[in-house]
Amino acid sequence: MKTRAISALIMAPMLIIVFLGGYFLIAGVLMLTILALREFADAFGEKRPAMWVFWASIAILYAGYLVPAIHSYIMLPWSFISLLLCFLSMFAIEKRDLVQGMTTITGVFYVIFLAFHIVMVDAFFSTPIEFTKHISMTGLHSYVWIVVLAAFGTDIFAFFTGVLIGSRKLCPAISPKKTVEGAIGGVLGSVLLCGLFGYLFIKSGFADCVALGVIGGVVSQLGDLSASAMKRKIGIKDWSSLIPGHGGVLDRIDSILFTAPTVFYYLMLKAAFVAAAA
């Protein structure tokens, strides 16, 4: 427990990056994505995916996103180009088999694609505080906090609820320690934290924060279980040992990888319905 507490303090700068938002958040997500991709690739040993595809895909996505003219449209063309690169990597049939090709595709979309939604939530659904013409800060008026609170809030409340009253196993074949009671406690914790945050900082979106607390609480656990299922199949406990007591970067963000797109598409759909009804 002491090791986990120390590691949690080490991860505190992540919250500062979320508070700053903008280019700071883009840089932070990029760094986490690169670290997570390395962990993902190393887990497959000799069957590691084509790393050049990862780096090319990241370069195209982030460079394209920073061009104002295509800022809002980069995801679809990037997805197509990345998929082409993944299949192109399989042309080296003497070096890679089909399994490596599929792990390359999985890495691109599981890590790069899903993680980038954190940047998109910040860009489209935050209200930056401008200090000068070129300097602004997201602060606490951003739905990225809902992504973080839903993911980590669920994890924390699920853990303590499971320890205190957990008895019925949730998915024993995938994650033996998770319980039904813990899962319910995790969702309730997510609702509590997201609702409280919305009441204090995003009053106009309070109902959305509560709804996202419910949906995010469920989806974040699906993200955690999906990662556990992959690790079971590979035969590893953690993606790496980079963070003492927590595993690797990918072990820490597996729930966020599912929660960030959930928040983004919920808010996008709501905005579309509101615009259509106006």
The 10s digit of each residue's pLDDT in 3-57 is 445 445 556 778 889 999 999 999 999 999 999 999 999 999 888 899 999 999 9
Q: What gap in Å lies between CA 216 and CA 109, rounded to an integer?
A: 20
Query: Looking at the whole model, is its pTM more than 0.85?
Result: yes
| pLDDT of the residue at 238 | 86
Q: Which amino acid is located at 239 in the chain? A: W
Number of structural domains (the chain) is 1
User: Which range of residues forms the domain containing residue 150?
Assistant: 2-277
Which of 44-53, 129-138, 187-196 has maximum average pLDDT? 187-196
| Distances from the Cα of 163 to the Cα of 15, 128, 160, 181, angstroms | 26, 39, 5, 9
Structure tokens at 153: 């809030």
pLDDT at 168 over 60: yes
Q: In this structure, are residues 54 and 108 in contact, taking their beta carbons and an 8 Å threshold?
A: yes
The residue among 173 and 215 whose pLDDT is bigger is 215
Please give the Cα distance from 93 to 87 (Å, whole number): 11
Give the pair of three-digit tokens for residue 249: 């970067």
| Number of residues in the chain | 278
In this predicted structure, what is the pLDDT of residue 10? Answer: 54
At residue 4, the pLDDT reads: 47
**pLDDT confidence of residue 2:** 47
8 A C-beta contact, residue 158 and residue 181? no
How much of the chain, in percent, has pLDDT values that exceed 90? 70
Q: What is the DSSP letter of 253?
A: H
Residue that wins the pLDDT comparison between 13 and 117: 117
Q: DSSP code of 269?
A: H
Using one digit for the tens of pLDDT, what is the confidence trace for 257-275?
A: 999 999 999 999 999 999 9
* Partner residues linked to 175 by β-bridges: 171
